[in-house]
Amino acid sequence: MYSLLSASVLAIDLARHPSGVAVADVVDRVLALTPRELAGLHAPASPAVRERVLAACSDAPRMSTLMRGVAATVADGLPSVDVSRSIVAALSETMTGGLVDLLELLRREPPLHGADPDAAQVALDAVAAAWAGREADLADLAALRAPWSEGLDPVPPALPKASYDEALRSVLEEVSRRSPARWQLVADAHGAYRGALRWSTAMHEACRAAYDADRLVDVARAQLAAARALRLSGASTGVEAHAIAMAVTAAVQATCTADLIAPDVTVALLTPWQAGT
């Protein structure tokens, strides 16, 4: 469900997650782990603690489950206006993936892929604790997080230096400053692009370009920064939140890969975002 190739999907989900900022911080830190830092992680929490925390997160709604319910609801015709509004609200608030998807992503990607199993488990437990928020027992959360906090500085390091630093900083700072009226312009512009699948096609090209240039981790970390900015802004909730998040992540992807993609792809990715300037 999640992959570094399409880190924007994870960023969009974290922008809506109640603990999205905390999760983005931990995932960012995991992606930046060095071999030396991994060597300092050991003695993960007990399996019993881990199972209790994971169980506390297992009932979260998923888009796949919700869509089955939507299909059943509309099978006999369009629902009433009130029901339709409820469906739209639920769709706008439900995440595409879940904690299991995120843990599987981190297991199969560097730096955790091929790492010492205990070290990798400490990192994965920290992600699970952040995701759980206050849904799990506080003592269990502390126990699950302790080996991570004690083994290294958990604060994510700065993004690596790149030619797009200034442009990326400008986008991320602007996320916190935009008014509801400007965000509505962004959502409207994104809606015009969605019908022609321009967002999906352009994002696919920009993601493939990042992959070919061995820039996936750097772009993923930039998308996590976008998730933080969105979650901390007033644009992370509401019916238009998903459209706004798609526009922001497209702008981040374009900013990080502008030197790798065709100008028309850059325009397609940036146009909804720029509608709000």
129 lies in which domain range?
33-59+96-151
* Residues 227, 270 within the same domain: yes
Question: Over the chain (277 residues), what is each successive 10-residue block's mean pLDDT?
Answer: 90 94 97 96 96 87 46 54 48 73 96 97 98 94 97 92 94 94 93 73 94 96 96 85 94 97 95 93
19 lies in some domain: no
* Residues 104, 202 within the same domain: no
* Residues 198, 229 within the same domain: yes
Structurally, how many domains does the chain consist of?
Answer: 3
Q: What is the pLDDT of residue 188?
A: 93
* Residues 186, 267 within the same domain: yes
DSSP annotation string for 132-195: HTTSS-HHHHHHHHHHHHHHS--SPPPPPP-TTHHHHHHHHHHHTT--HHHHHHHHHHHHHHHT
Query: Per residue in 206-234, pLDDT tens?
Result: 999 999 999 999 999 999 999 999 999 98
261 lies in some domain: yes
| Whole-Å CA distances, 89 to 86, 118, 208 | 5, 41, 32
Q: What is the pLDDT of residue 164?
A: 94
Contact 115, 38 (CB under 8 A): yes
Provide the whole-model pTM. Answer: 0.86
127 lies in some domain: yes
46 lies in some domain: yes
Q: What is the pLDDT of residue 239?
A: 78
